[in-house]
């Protein structure tokens, strides 16, 4: 054990029980270069986490680093609250060029505290203020953050059970999760029933739900298991909310800025939401969060939402650089091409490994749902999620130089969120390392054979 590893082990005992990634990645990661990171012993890893998607161009990309280094030596401000600065003006110009044109022409922007959670809180406050309504619609499986308002709109019950005091009147809707349909139906019928459920809730005078201040949705559920909504379903959602005068707020914290292969994940449906929540990639690797919304909802008063670090100048510089890079010809085409290559390689494993239930996602936001094909099906006939395999597989991947995280129901979905500058060769190598790790735990075999002894964890 080297000196840094010794210190890591020593100080880990002083860290909170709430720490997460550090438990599985029990290494000192000492440097990074684009899609690769290296630990203190010099071992290389392909990074399919990318700080939960917050590093769109990977680690230390020169296009960002050169801008940041020049800024640090320029004598300009480090922090500026919401005061105008050259860095802020440059960022806003890049942002409005990246936003969908039909949305941008009537949009206003509010800079928030530097986390997605705070931007979600801002949306909650804004639309309750603008509409005068109390209730909010969210979806099962949603992840919107860890502060009290955003946590109240989260689908995952784990972080919610030990605390109380969430905002009242939050109604959860079934998300069109076709592989584990909440209606026990196929994909098309699941989408139809999901929209019918919403239509009924908004039109039934005895639905029990007052008219909502907003409906909050992720176009691709991230932590919920990398579940993409179809373009048809998103169009149906927009039509219903518009007809019932319910603001549609799209959470693009993880799916935005090229992650899906489009600049924003909702764009492929051709819809125009009432607001877009942004964080993670928008800062180019540095903390930044904001909400953009239709100007008609700009009804709050000065100071109604504030935060000391909403003027994070370094993040504005790096964010502007990232947006400029992603808007270059060919950038999003590369994301789509590499994402398709990685998905094809993972799909090939699906046909050979009975423990893979589904491969899904868009662009470089992909998920592999792990199942126990020999386990007891649930009441709807679906195979059980295999959380034990997911835990073991994360470790096996790490040992083979691949950093992955899990999510979804029971933590049984392996999630691929690599930097957007990934190459085709990188995608092949990721698939190879993933297959080697999977094969060490569950060698390819027909679903009728019993689980290998290696899975007795």
Enzyme catalytic residues: 143
List strands edge to edge, sheet with 36-39.
29-33, 36-39, 44-47, 402-403
Count CB atoms within 10 A of the CB of residue 45: 23
Instruction: Please identify which residue in the block is written with the tokens 């125009």.
Output: 272
For 437-441, which contacts have Cβ atoms below 8 Å and span 24 or more sequence positions?
437/393, 437/396, 437/397, 437/399, 437/400, 437/402, 438/349, 438/353, 438/355, 438/393, 438/396, 440/396, 441/389, 441/392, 441/393, 441/396
**Which residues are CB-neighbours of 130 under 8 A, at least 6 positions away?**
213, 247, 296, 297, 298, 299, 300
Structure token digits, residue 68: 């940041």
Task: Provide the angle, in degrees to the nearest 10, between the axes of the packed helices 86-98 and 313-326.
Answer: 30
- 62-72 helix and 313-326 helix, angle to the nearest 10 degrees: 150
Can you point out the beta strands (E) in 299-386? Answer: 356-362, 365-370
Q: For residue 170, what are its two tokens? A: 């939050």
H/E element holding 110?
strand 107-111
Give the H/E segment covering residue 383: none
Phi, psi of 170 (to 5 degrees): -105, 120
Give the total residue count for the chain: 457
Helix (H) or strand (E) holding 326: helix 313-326
What are the backbone angles phi and psi of residue 230, rounded to the nearest 5°? -75, 160
How far apart, in whole angstroms, are the C-alpha atoms of residue 335 and residue 47? 16
Q: Which residues contact 170 (CB under 8 A, 6 or more apart)?
A: 135, 136, 137, 138, 152, 153
């Amino acid at each position: 054990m080297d000196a840094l590893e010794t210190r890591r082990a020593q100080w880990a005992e002083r860290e909170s029980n709430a720490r997460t990634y550090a438990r599985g990645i029990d290494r000192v990661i000492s440097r990074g270069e684009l899609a690769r990171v290296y630990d203190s012993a010099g071992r290389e890893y392909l990074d399919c986490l990318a700080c939960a998607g917050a590093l769109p161009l990977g680690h230390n990309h020169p296009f960002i680093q050169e801008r940041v280094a020049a800024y640090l030596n320029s004598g300009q401000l480090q922090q500026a609250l919401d005061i105008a600065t050259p860095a802020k003006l440059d960022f806003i110009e890049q942002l409005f060029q990246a936003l969908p044109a039909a949305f941008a022409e009537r949009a206003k922007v509010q800079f928030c505290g530097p986390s997605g959670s705070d931007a979600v809180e801002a949306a909650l406050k804004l639309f309750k203020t603008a509409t005068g309504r109390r209730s909010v619609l969210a979806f099962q499986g949603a992840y919107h953050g860890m502060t009290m308002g955003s946590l109240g709109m989260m689908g995952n019950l784990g972080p919610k059970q030990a605390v109380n005091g969430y905002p009242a009147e939050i109604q959860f809707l079934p998300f069109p999760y076709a592989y584990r349909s909440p209606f026990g139906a196929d994909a098309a019928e699941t989408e139809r029933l999901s929209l019918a459920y919403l239509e009924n809730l908004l039109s039934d005078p005895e639905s029990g739900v007052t008219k909502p201040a907003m409906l909050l949705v992720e176009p691709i559920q991230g932590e919920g298991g990398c579940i993409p909504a179809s373009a048809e379903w998103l169009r149906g959602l927009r039509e219903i909310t518009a007809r019932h005068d319910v603001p549609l707020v799209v959470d693009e914290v993880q799916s935005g800025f090229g992650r899906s292969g489009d600049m924003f994940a909702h764009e492929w449906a051709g819809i125009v939401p009432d607001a877009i929540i942004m964080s993670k990639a928008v800062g180019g690797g540095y903390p930044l969060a904001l909400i953009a919304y239709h100007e008609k909802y700009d009804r709050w008063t000065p100071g109604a939402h504030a935060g000391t670090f909403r003027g994070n100048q370094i993040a504005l510089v790096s964010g502007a650089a990232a947006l400029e890079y992603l808007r270059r010809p060919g950038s999003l085409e590369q994301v789509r091409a590499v994402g398709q290559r990685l998905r094809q390689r993972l799909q090939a494993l699906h046909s050979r490994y009975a423990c893979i239930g589904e491969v899904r996602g868009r662009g470089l936001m992909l998920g592999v749902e792990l199942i126990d094909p020999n386990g007891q099906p649930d009441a709807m006939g679906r195979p059980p999620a295999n959380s034990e395999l997911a835990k073991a597989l994360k470790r096996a991947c790490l040992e083979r130089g691949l950093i992955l995280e899990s999510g979804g129901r029971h933590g049984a979905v392996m999630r691929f969120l690599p930097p957007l500058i990934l190459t085709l060769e990188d995608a092949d190598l990721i698939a190879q390392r993933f297959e080697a790790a999977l094969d060490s735990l569950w060698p390819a075999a027909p679903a009728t054979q019993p689980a290998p002894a290696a899975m007795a964890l």
